[in-house]
Structure 1
Amino acid sequence: MHILLTRPALQAEAMKLSLENMGLQVSLAPILDVSYVDFSPETLEASKAFVVTSVYASLRIANDPSVCRTVPIYAVGAGTAAPLRRVGFTCVHEAAGDATSLLDLILKKRNPSEGRITYLSGWDITEDMARALERHGHDARRVVAYRATPARSLSNATRELLRRGDIDCIVFMSYRTAHFFTALCEEARVSACLQTMTAAVLSEKVASGLDRKGWRKIRVATAPSQEAMIDILASARDQGFQEHSTPL
């Protein structure tokens, strides 16, 4: 089975290895290019806790030696928490993979009197965790740490894979990736090719970025995590999409 990953390159390479170890063939088509945004070092030094919702935000903290390894950090899920734990952060709290569980975790673990919380985010977000925390009485602010810019076009290699029907399943881990992939396929005139393929998406929100009628099937992960996505692909490998898929 041939999988196409649309995640940014850093995340896609790591996921590719896991999928290849499962015996899957994997090609990469990063739809978003991530670049870091400069901000004052004092931003990190003055913070009493951090909120991170992507691995890119986690890496900004992990790679800064001035940040105390015992500072509380609230991560949206396991993948986001991993870079921090690898470099020795000892107070990393991990939510269940979405904004709702992350907010619930912070409100349960932290009192507003404990000081400022900094939400390190991307330029484009669907949920402003700083504003959500402020509504609950916390001193919180958002700091943009990186920007994810959409590709201008599909690569020649990706277009050919789609035209030949070589791809069995395309993985989407974010709404923006799904949305821009759809637009790029239309621009490249390969949208019709997707009708023979399955889309595996992280959530119903991610699925809303796709043309739901333009796919053979769309499968939604049971939880907003990479582990749940890998479960979908393992099921496809072992039993086939036809037996276990339910179209949206």
Structure 2
Amino acid sequence: MRVLVTRTQSASRKTAERLAALGHEPVILPLAQAQHHPDAVLSGMTRPHAALAITSAEALKACPTDSQVLRPHLETPLFAVGAATATAARALGFSNVTSADGDGEALSACIAQAAIDWSKPLLYLAGHPRKASLEQGLVRHGIPAVTVEAYRMQPIDYSSEEIIEQLAGKGIDAVLLYSAETARRFFALPIKTEVVDLFAGAQFFCLSPDIAEKVQEPFSHKVSIAPKPDEDGLFSLL
């Protein structure tokens, strides 16, 4: 299958490698690029906090690269939204990592179950834009939290001609959508008839129901939702 990957360039490369190993033909069309805010993360980490939370591995790229700066925080409990994000945290050196294997709501429930003294707040290394589910869940569970914007996603614009060139003028069989914002950006592209034709046979594979809701006509009847909200779940649809 020719599979369109719409993640950031670095994330898309990893996904493309997995797709190629499975015998698919990945086509990369990043719809956003991350602008990292390491100073904000460093400032947040220097304040007292009982634990860390991340909903994307992208936040880790804004963490201090100086090992001396990062070392005091590596044993701090870190709660990750899923297995891939947890793996990225461990690779950076964090040793006390828990994966919620779900979404922001599941992550807040996971944090609430932890035996932690919340006299100090949770430090949430967040992105923008983001869903409010984690922050809302923390409020419901009475967990004090400080949100630091670790990165901001900046959209990448394409003309119809650039999209056709990126797709090598050949049809796409499947489109992977990892977030509602990515889906919104995809359907905001200037898609002429020639581009629509390249997606005529495509299925849209979405990480969650809220993403599927963003798929517009004439493709809204060609949507599948991953059984689990992670990349393995998406790949199971291929």
TM over 0.5: yes
Which stretches in structure 1 are left out of the alignment for 5+ residues? 234-248
Preserved contact between residue 171 and residue 198 of structure 2 (Cα < 8 Å)? no
Residue 234 of structure 2, aligned match among 229, 236, 239: 229
Using the alignment, how far apart are the partners of 1:117 and 1:93 within structure 2?
A: 14
Give yes or no for the alignment of 1:41 onto 2:64: no
* Aligned match for 1:108, one of 110, 113, 118: 113
Q: CA 1:163–1:16 in 2, change beyond 3 Å: closer, same or farther?
A: closer
Which string of whole-angstrom CA distances, capped at 9 and with x for unpartnered residues, describes residues 3-35 of structure 1? Answer: 110111111111111111111111100011111
Q: Which moved more, 1:176-185 or 1:132-141?
A: 132-141
> Do the aligned residues in 2 keep the contact of 1:221 with 1:232 (CA within 8 Å)?
yes
Kept in 2, the 8 Å contact 1:120–1:143? The answer is yes
Alignment of 1:174 with 2:204, yes or no, is no
Q: In the aligned structure 1, how far is the partner of 2:234 from the partner of 2:102?
A: 12
Q: d(CA) in 2 for partners of 1:3 and 1:167?
A: 6
Q: Encode CA deviations 1:157-204: one digit per residue, 9 max, x unaligned.
A: 532466945211111111111111011044787345433211111111
SS of the aligned residue for 1:145 comes to strand
* Counterpart secondary structure, 1:59: helix
Structure ranking higher in helix proportion: 1
CA distance, structure 2, for counterparts of residue 231 and residue 89 of structure 1: 30
Provide the identity percentage: 26
Q: Is the 8 A contact 2:5 2:175 kept in 1?
A: yes
Structure 2 counterpart of 1:11, one-letter code: A
Over 3 Å counting, the alpha-carbon distance change for 1:139 and 1:24 in structure 2 is same
Q: What TM-score, normalized by structure 2, do the two folds share?
A: 0.87
2:61 is aligned to 59
Q: Is the 8 A contact 1:131 1:141 kept in 2?
A: no
Contact 1:197 / 1:216 at 8 angstroms: preserved in 2? no
Equivalent position of 1:241 in the other structure: none
Task: Say if 1:144 and 1:213 are closer, same or farther in 2 by CA, change over 3 A.
Answer: same
Give, as a single letter, the amino acid of the residue that structure 2 aligns with 1:23.
Answer: G
Deviates more, 1:71-80 or 1:119-128: 119-128
1-structure distance, mates of 2:184, 2:27: 19
1:32 is aligned with what amino acid? A
Looking at structure 1, the residues matched to 41 and 21 of structure 2 have their Cα atoms a distance apart, in angstroms, of: 41
Q: Distance in 1 between matches of 2:92 and 2:146?
A: 25
Query: Aligned letter for 1:127?
Result: A
Which residue of the other structure, out of 198, 204, 216, is the alignment partner of 2:209?
Answer: 204
Q: Is the 8 A contact 1:196 1:215 kept in 2?
A: no
Give 1:94 shift. Answer: 0.2
Kindly state the Cα deviation for residue 78 of structure 1 after the two structures are TM-superposed.
1.1
1:94 paired with 2:96, answer: no
| Matches of 2:74 and 2:225, distance apart in 1 | 36
Note the C-alpha offset of 1:42.
3.1
Q: Provide the residue aligned with 2:26 in structure 1.
A: 26
**How much has 1:64 moved relative to structure 2?**
5.2
Q: What's the C-alpha RMSD, in Å, of the aligned pairs?
A: 2.4
* Mapped contact 2:171–2:199 kept (Cα < 8 A): no
C-alpha contact (below 8 Å) 1:29/1:154 kept by paired residues: no
* Distance in structure 2 (CA, Å) of the matches to 1:180 and 1:9: 15
CA distance in 1, matches of 2:187, 2:96: 39
Give 1:230 shift: 1.5
Which residue does the alignment assign to 1:244?
none
Q: Is 1:5 the equivalent of 2:10?
A: no
- Partner AA of 2:163 in structure 1: T
Counterpart for residue 155 of structure 2: 150
- More divergent stretch after superposition (146-155 vs 26-35): 146-155
The partner residue of 1:137 within 142, 154, 172 is: 142
1:194/1:215 contact within 8 Å kept:
no
TM-score, scaled relative to structure 1 = 0.84
